[in-house]
Copies of this chain bind each other. A is one copy, B any other.
C-alpha cells in the first residue's frame, strides 16, 4: 500500500470538478482511496482522519489544490496521478457544450430578460460578482457561503436603495414563480408565500405543504445571517413587503433561527402590517403565545406547514394593509406576580421594542434602576429587592399605588398594565384601593389607558365579580389572562412605518423566470430542466484566483 500526492499551488477549480476528479481517481484500478481538496486547515484535518494526509499536503495552504491517492502499489498510484489532467478536463455529464459567456455583462447581453443572477462562486470572490450583478440592476441569489458580514450589509444596502433583492449569502433555497433556485423541492403552485433565513427550513416546510395538498406562491430566501442585528433583516423586510403586495399569496410563513429581540419585534410588526395571516417559526424562539393577532407561532417545521394550511382555509378575508395605528407612547407594567410579569414580558417583547424590566429575559432588557422606568417597562414589584421588611405587593398595595402615580405623571406613558391576583392570602379587597387611585389619575390624564389582568375564581374570598366591576367602573379594561391582555396591547402597537426605499417590482416574480448562473454548473442545468431560461457564465476568478493580481486588475479596470 502506498500514498502519493500532487500539489497544485494557487490553482482554482470549481468544487464540482474536484468532486468528479476524486470520484474519477477512486474508480481507477488499484486505487483504494483518494482526496482532491483545497488545503484549508479543516480539509487537511479531514484528510488526516481518512489517513490521506502526507507531509507535503500538510505544508500546503488554503489556496493550494492537494490531490492524494492511496493505492495498492507504486505503479497504480503513479498511474492515477498521471490521469489527473485528463480527469480535470472532462465536463460534467448533462451540461450542454454550447457557448457560455465569460462575464456577467456578456450574459446579460445574451439573455437580457434575466432579472436574476445566481452566484455560487467561492465565498471570497462571490461578493464582487454580486456587486457587479447589482450594478447591472439584477436581483441576486447568493448561494455562496464564507462571505463576510461587512460585504453582506453593503450588498443589501445597495440592493435596498435600488429596489433589488439580495437573497443570501449562504442562501440555499428559493422558489420564484414556480422555479426552484439552488436546492429546492418541486412543489405545487399555490397561495402560501414563504420567507426563510434557512434553506432546509424552506425545503422542509414547502415539502410538507405539498404533502398536505397545498402549494407555494413564492419562497424567498434571505441567508442565515439576515436576521442578525448587524444586517437588521433587510431582505426579510423586503420579502414580507413583496408577499404582502403579491395577490397570489394569502398566507405568509416566516422561518428562521431566533433573531435578537429588537429584530424580532420589528419583523413581527412588519409581518402584521401585511394584513395577512402569518405563521412564525423562529426555531428555538419561545413563542409569546400560540396566537398573537394575525401571528401564529409554530413549534416545528412540519407544524408550520400544518398551521399555514389551516389558515388558508379560514383566510378568505380582505387584507387590510392600511390604517395601522402608529402609537408613540410607552407602556408600563406594574406587577405583583413575578410569573405574570415574566409571561407578559415574554409576549410583549414580540412586538414592543425596546422593552425593559427588573426581571428581564434578555440581558439587554435589564433596567439599570428598578426605581426608574424607561421606554416600555415591565416591573415585578414582588422581586426580592422590593420585599425586604415589607409585605408582598399582593397584600400591600402601597408601593404599587405610589409607582402608579409616578408612571402616570410621565408624559411619555400612555398605557399602564396591572395584575390583580385574588385568592387566599392576598389583599382582602384590592379594588377598594386600586380603583379610586386609578379613577383619580384618569381624571387628570383621561387619555391614559389602564389595563388589568385579574387572576381569580368565583369562589375566591374577594368576590371576583365585584372586583372586576369596581375596576371597570374606574375606567380599567379588565382581562382574565396574560394572553388576552397582551393580544389587546399588541394590537395598539403595530408600529410599522412604510419603507422609504423603492419597492421591489412584482414583475420579477410573475414574469417567466430567467437567470444568469455563476458558479456551480448543476444549478444552471436544474433551471433548464425546470423549463426556465438560464445562461451559464464560464466564470473564472480574476487573475486565476491570485488575489494580489486580482486587486491590480480591479484597479486598472476602475481607471479605465
Contact = CB atoms under 8 A, between A and B. Distances in A.
Interface of A: 15-16, 18-19, 22, 37-38, 40, 42-43, 45-46, 49-50, 62, 122-123, 145-146, 170, 172, 180-188, 198-201, 203-204, 207-208, 210-211, 224, 255, 257-258, 283-290, 297, 299-303, 336-340, 342-343, 346-347, 361, 371, 382, 384-392, 394-396, 398-399, 402, 406, 419, 421-426, 455-457, 459-461, 480-484, 520, 522-523, 526, 529-530
The 7 closest A-B pairs by CB, nearest first: A200-B337, A38-B389, A185-B423, A201-B339, A186-B459, A302-B481, A198-B339
5 contacts: A46-B371, A185-B460, A200-B421, A286-B286, A425-B522
B303 A299 contact: no
Given A289-B299, A398-B22, A339 B207 contact: no
Contacts of A123: 384, 388
B423 A180 contact: yes
B180 A37 contact: no
Nearest to A459: B186
A457 B522 contact: no
Nearest to A405: B50
| A15, A183, A187, A480 — most chain B CB neighbours (10 Å) | A183
Given A300-B483, A338-B199, A42 B145 contact: no
Contacts of A422: 185
Contacts of A455: 185, 200, 203-204, 207
Contacts of A392: 172, 183
Contacts of A480: 211
Given A46-B399, A287-B299, 4 more contacts: A19-B395, A185-B424, A199-B337, A300-B343
Contacts of A42: 385-386, 388
Contacts of A337: 199-200, 203-204
A210 to B, nearest CB: 5
A297 B523 CA distance: 41
A111 B402 CA distance: 42
A426 B183 contact: yes
B391 A15 contact: yes
Contacts of A402: 46, 49-50
Contacts of A371: 45-46, 49
Given A183-B424, A346-B284, A481-B301, A389 B340 contact: no
A394 B19 CA distance: 13
Contacts of A297: 299
Nearest to A283: B343
B145 A384 contact: yes
A188 B482 CA distance: 22
A295 to B, nearest CB: 12
A9 to B, nearest CB: 14
Contact of A203 (B38, B384, B421): B421
Given A346-B283, A402-B49, A122 B389 contact: yes
Nearest to A390: B15
A285 B286 contact: yes
Nearest to A39: B389
A388 to B, nearest CB: 5
A490 to B, nearest CB: 13
Contact of A207 (B180, B288, B456, B520): B456
Contact of A289 (B182, B300, B424): B300
A13 to B, nearest CB: 8
A391 B16 contact: yes
Contacts of A388: 38, 40, 42-43, 62, 122-123, 146
| A123, A186, A382, A459 — most chain B CB neighbours (10 Å) | A186
Nearest to A291: B299
Nearest to A175: B424
Contacts of A385: 42
B299 A290 contact: yes
Contact of A340 (B200, B285, B522): B200
Contact of A200 (B49, B180, B338, B361): B338
Given A361-B284, A395-B522, A390 B43 contact: yes
A391 B122 CA distance: 10
A459 B530 contact: no
Contact of A18 (B37, B182, B340, B390): B390
Contacts of A186: 423-424, 457, 459-461
Contact of A391 (B19, B146, B399, B424): B19
Contacts of A484: 302
B286 A303 contact: no
A300 B384 contact: no
A530 B38 contact: no
A157 B49 CA distance: 47
